[in-house]
A = this chain, B = another copy of it.
Amino acid sequence: MFCHLFTTEQNRPLCQAKKGVMKEKKEDRRIGRTRRLMHEALIALIVEKGYEAVTVQDILDRADVGRSTFYGHYRDKDELLLSSFEHLRTLFEEQQQALLASRRTGVESEINFILELFRHTGEHHQLYKAMAGKQSGEMILKYLHRYLYNLLIVPHLELMKLRASPPVPIEITTHYLVTTLLSLVTWWLDNQMPYPPEKMDEFFRRVTGPSIEAAFGRKVGAYEAIADKDPTGSVKAFYSLFVDSDCCPDK
């Protein structure tokens, strides 16, 4: 199922780059296999019993891996989850890059970020369900929220340079937008995705479009431009702050 996900993962205790010798060495296959087993076990267990209820022993039993092996790879359960998330991110970024590359050869060079997010979610729904569904812990959703907020607040501030005071403060509007997007994604996952990604994208736009105009107090077709602006930068930035030490809570 996730065979390609974790093969090239880097990790602190076993990372050779940390020894000052940067060798383009292929990773020992036992490492890749062990990590993959642990990741798969975690994802399955989250969906079954909820992240908080999963114990390290549960993971070990499911993955058929020893305790000291687990701690040889990961600091704790949270780090394993973060690692899974990072690979989901890599998947998404790679897909966006490929999409962008193919788009450059065509007439339309824009990417609909929201639609792509829903599409990716649909394709990897089990993973997303474990990460962001109702059985997940709060950690990933908090990351996502913070990230998206930081992504959107800067262009919102620029948009407001020409206006002294919108009817609704832009911090609130931005918070609202991020919350709405994430809540639609989680709703979709938790309800077995009853609509196609294109429909979800449409629902999001229908609901938030008028709100943006009301909140900013002006006719904002520019919202489309904001959401889709600089897709290359957006895609890369989308996840890149999550596992950086600066952005993460309780680190």
Q: Which residues of A contact B (CB under 8 A)?
A: 50, 138, 167-169, 171-173, 175-176, 179-180, 183-184, 187, 191, 195, 203, 206-211, 213-215, 250
Contacts and interface: CB of A to CB of B under 8 A. Distances in A.
Contacts of A175: 183, 187
A176 B180 contact: yes
Contacts of A214: 206-207, 209-210
Nearest to A207: B211
B211 A215 contact: no
**Copies of this chain, tallied across the complex:** 2
Closest A-B pairs by Cβ, 8 of them = A210-B210, A179-B183, A207-B211, A210-B214, A168-B203, A211-B211, A206-B214, A175-B187
A207 B138 contact: no
Contacts of A179: 179-180, 183
B138 A206 contact: no
Nearest to A250: B50
Contacts of A211: 207-208, 210-211
A250 B211 CA distance: 36
Contacts of A213: 210
A150 to B, nearest CB: 15
A183 B187 contact: no
